[in-house]
């Protein structure tokens, strides 16, 4: 470690703090950086939480900087750790767990907290804010058990939360004190159009009402309003605003007001301590939007790196909202008064609205609804206090020779300065985008995102990035540029598989080289997929590439937020023996396992195993792995069936154990779960499994494509069979057909909807010859594999060395 480096401690692992660190890393490598984050996650895109809530994205999808990024840049990261004080006397940052880290400079980036209304009942169970991943997880859980939700607050965050809860199947009412939604960003016309559109999408509204009390005993049961009326609700989300998180600054004696008081260079009242983001107060203003936070971060980064920069003078704020096709934008002044000249255009047929406000013929604000393609251009013009002209009017309002089409787009991009910021969330300029297009031959927005970071946060700049792409490529631009399995290639899953077979490609590196991958080493999205496709195509010759596996698969255990692992031994059909239970107990005591949990798949999960103890734990258990970490057959859940139950018509335990023993070890595109019920009472919950089997007096009924996760789906009935042999053959054929046609990480619930139930039934149930061929191929694949843990125990290398071969790039998957 370079002892000459200055020690920089960043308190806060969110977008403001880490974007500032990214800017610093562009300017210098002379800092030894330590980052503290209160949440147990790497840096993620808080703006995209509403997409996680509605199920269109996962937590992994919104990670901005995975653990590999921190490691690559030599950054020490402490997740799940809250800083309580900056000790100026000892020049140390002190955490709640007692950790003390010396500093030369500190950046406070603690963001904000949700404001909870101080009304009776606000502390009841079922009342939360909406600010982080934990809030999002609570909302996902609530949607499984409760039906009526109320969102207090009709602002940006409240509407996003409401739409997500509606998507999860809840009856949602937005309760808003004012008569207009988003009254701080929209005028009455745009607000009314937004309300009408959201009502069409299933959201209900209670406008102009004040909540005075939350009703119920321990759990909330309703809202009481000032007029005495009551709204029934068993889940309440408060989205009435945010307040700067100034806790650590106040505890350290730093000047605070509403926020942490900073000067134009983000310096606080304590020497060598800076602050950036929503926790700040600059010239009496606290900003709660992303773009100003980035502008602050750029200035702070230059200042701390001794690079000349002008001070921060404040931001012209803008707001963008996108919920299932509803596009809204506002910037600057948006409520017209006597001093304004109003330029407005409303189209009720296309549900679009545009308003520009002038003061002394200077553009001072704008509102857009339905079509926000001019948002970036308007924001620039208003920020520069541009004077309105006839030509500019024609361009903006789509009239005359300057109106509409590609000409308008080219004109807008053509007049942009090279150093103009296109992506305010990540500080990407027009020149940076033009350079990567011309120098690296990029042709898609996804490629530009992977290379520069533009569009990776809120996505609001995507239209402008597309315009720049079209402007640079000219006739070579394809508006619907083909997207591949990741940003490294334009090839689809089917095209890659065909090329592997046709060209006889045998390794991931060979595939990436021959098929012209844009990133020679690939990425954490395509490498595991290619490794899977090779294993599926060549089960007898492909050598599994451990470096392309996700960390859990490489470690044969699931990594936890504290760095320990969980170990899940196999229990066939959920059945075990007293001898195996004793081994589990003995190992748990010997290796100080923190907890032993019964899983949803009827197994025991040993939680809190240290990394260095994993080989010995598996060896002393002497049980097969339950593959709780793998893209393979996880469990076959069973009821007690005809062996014990008076209602059971079939031996579900016996069949479950048989299927689990037969098909374990095999890789699938995604995790795979099964269940076997001995009768239609469905105690093993077959309706939410990839393959669900229900016994009846005449044999078995087979269901496919169920899912009990974020995107819940009831399984479809595939067919009925009379014999155990038919059951095994149909199940094997379904598995192999899924293995051969499923996209990597695509669950069967998505696969069935993409391929279609009838084509699957035709290929497997109705086409006997094809079914038998599929079964032959899966039998051949099964002959090539064995429990990988046995290979680990017999490996000539030391077990410790094996476990240290960890590729951080796959850590977050």
Going by the annotation, the residues of the binding site for siroheme are 683
Q: Give the separation between CA 128 and CA 134, rounded to whole angstroms.
A: 10
Distances (CA, A) of 487 to 451, 458, 763: 9, 18, 33
Structure tokens belonging to residue 138? 């609570």
User: Nearest 10 degrees: CA dihedral of 544, 546, 550, 551?
Assistant: 140
CA 368 to chain centroid, in Å, comes to 28
Annotated binding site: 639, 645, 679, 683
CA 609 to chain centroid, in Å, comes to 27
Annotated binding site for [4Fe-4S] cluster: 639, 645, 679, 683
| Angle, vertex CA 789, rays to CA 784 and CA 795, nearest 5 | 90
Cβ proximity of 702 and 720 under 8 Å: yes
Find, among 632, 672, 678, the residue nearest to 655 by Cα. Answer: 678
Is 321 in a helix, a strand, or coil?
Answer: strand
Determine the length of the chain. Answer: 813
Cβ proximity of 155 and 182 under 8 Å: yes
Residue 466 CB neighbour total at 10 angstroms: 20
β-strand partners of 102: 92
DSSP letters, 77-88, are EETT--EEEEET
Q: Give the separation between CA 301 and CA 86, rounded to whole angstroms.
A: 20
Question: What is the helix, strand, coil percentage profile of the chain, to 5?
Answer: 40, 25, 40
Q: Which residues contact 348 (CB under 8 A, 6 or more apart)?
A: none
Cβ proximity of 191 and 181 under 8 Å: yes
Q: Please report the sign of the dihedral spanned by the C-alpha atoms of residue 384, residue 386, residue 391, residue 396.
A: positive
| Angle, vertex CA 262, rays to CA 257 and CA 267, nearest 5 | 140
Find, among 349, 357, 403, the residue nearest to 378 by Cα. Answer: 357
């Amino acid at each position: 470690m370079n002892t000459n480096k200055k020690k920089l401690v960043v308190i806060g692992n969110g977008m403001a703090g880490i974007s500032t660190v990214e800017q610093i890393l562009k300017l210098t490598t002379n800092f030894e950086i330590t980052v503290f984050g209160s949440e147990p996650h790497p840096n993620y895109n808080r703006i995209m939480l509403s997409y996680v809530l509605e199920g269109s994205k996962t937590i992994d999808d919104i990670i901005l900087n995975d653990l590999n990024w921190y490691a690559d840049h030599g950054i020490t990261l402490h997740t799940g750790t809250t800083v309580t004080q900056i000790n100026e006397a000892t020049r140390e940052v002190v955490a709640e767990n007692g950790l003390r880290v010396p500093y030369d400079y500190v950046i406070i980036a603690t963001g904000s907290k949700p404001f909870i209304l101080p009304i009776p009942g606000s502390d009841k169970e079922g009342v939360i804010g909406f600010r982080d991943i934990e809030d999002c997880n609570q909302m996902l859980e609530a949607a499984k058990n409760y039906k009526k939700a109320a969102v207090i607050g009709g602002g940006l965050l409240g509407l996003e939360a409401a739409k997500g809860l509606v998507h999860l199947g809840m009856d949602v009412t937005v309760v808003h004190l004012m008569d207009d939604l988003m009254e701080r960003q929209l005028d009455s016309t745009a607000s009314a159009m937004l309300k009408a559109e959201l009502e069409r999408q299933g959201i209900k509204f209670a406008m102009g009402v004040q909540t005075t009390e939350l009703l119920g005993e321990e759990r909330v049961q309703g809202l009481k309003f000032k007029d005495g009326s009551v709204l029934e609700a068993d889940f309440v989300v408060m989205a009435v605003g945010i307040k700067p998180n100034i806790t650590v600054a106040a505890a350290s004696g730093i000047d605070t007001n509403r926020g942490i008081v900073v000067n134009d260079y983000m310096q606080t009242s304590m020497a060598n301590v800076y602050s950036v983001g929503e926790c700040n107060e600059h010239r009496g203003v606290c900003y709660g939007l992303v773009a100003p936070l980035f502008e602050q971060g750029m200035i702070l980064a230059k200042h701390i790196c001794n690079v000349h920069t002008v001070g921060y003078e404040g931001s012209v704020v803008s707001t963008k909202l996108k919920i299932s096709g509803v596009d809204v934008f506002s910037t600057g002044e948006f409520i017209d008064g006597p001093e304004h000249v109003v330029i407005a255009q409303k189209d009720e047929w296309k549900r679009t609205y545009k308003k520009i406000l002038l003061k002394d013929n200077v553009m001072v604000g704008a509102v857009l609804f339905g079509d926000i393609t001019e948002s970036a251009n308007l924001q620039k013009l208003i920020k520069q206090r541009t004077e309105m002209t006839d030509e500019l009017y024609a361009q903006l309002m789509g009239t005359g020779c300057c109106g509409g089409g590609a000409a308008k787009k080219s004109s807008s991009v053509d007049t942009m300065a090279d150093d103009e910021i296109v992506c305010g969330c990540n500080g990407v300029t027009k020149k940076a985008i033009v350079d990567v297009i011309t120098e690296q031959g990029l042709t898609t927005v996804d490629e530009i995102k992977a290379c520069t970071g533009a569009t990776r946060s809120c996505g609001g700049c995507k239209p402008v990035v597309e315009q720049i792409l079209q402007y640079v490529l000219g006739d070579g631009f394809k508006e619907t540029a083909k997207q591949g399995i990741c940003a490294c290639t334009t090839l689809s899953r089917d095209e890659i598989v065909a090329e592997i077979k046709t060209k006889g490609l045998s390794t991931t590196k060979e595939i990436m080289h021959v098929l012209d991958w844009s990133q020679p080493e690939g990425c954490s999205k395509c490498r595991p997929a290619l490794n899977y496709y090779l294993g599926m195509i060549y089960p007898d010759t492909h050598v599994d590439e451990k470096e392309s596996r996700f960390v859990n698969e490489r470690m044969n255990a699931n990594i936890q937020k504290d760095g320990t692992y969980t170990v899940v031994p196999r229990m066939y059909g959920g059945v075990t023996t007293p001898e195996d239970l004793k081994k589990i107990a003995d190992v748990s005591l010997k290796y100080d396992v923190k907890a032993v949990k019964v899983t949803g798949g009827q197994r025991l999960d040993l939680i809190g195993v240290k990394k260095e103890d994993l080989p010995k734990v598996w060896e002393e258990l002497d049980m097969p792995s339950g593959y709780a970490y793998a893209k393979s057959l996880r469990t076959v859940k069973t009821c007690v069936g005809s062996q014990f139950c008076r209602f059971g018509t079939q031996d579900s335990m016996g069949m479950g154990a048989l299927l689990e023993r037969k098909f374990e070890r095999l890789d699938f595109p995604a995790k795979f779960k099964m269940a076997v019920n001995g009768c239609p009472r469905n105690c093993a919950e077959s309706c939410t499994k990839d393959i669900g089997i229900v016994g009846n007096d005449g044999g078995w009924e087979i269901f496919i494509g169920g899912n009990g996760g974020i995107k819940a789906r009831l399984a479809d009935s595939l067919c009925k069979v009379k014999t155990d042999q038919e059951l095994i053959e149909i199940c094997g054929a379904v598995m192999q057909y899924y293995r051969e046609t499923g996209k990597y990480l695509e669950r069967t619930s998505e696969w069935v909807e993409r391929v279609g139930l009838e084509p699957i039934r035709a290929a497997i149930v109705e086409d006997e010859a094809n079914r038998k061929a599929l079964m032959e191929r899966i039998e051949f694949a099964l002959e090539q594999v064995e429990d990988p843990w046995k290979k680990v125990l017999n490996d000539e290398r030391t077990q410790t060395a094996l476990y240290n071969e960890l590729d951080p790039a796959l850590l977050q998957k």
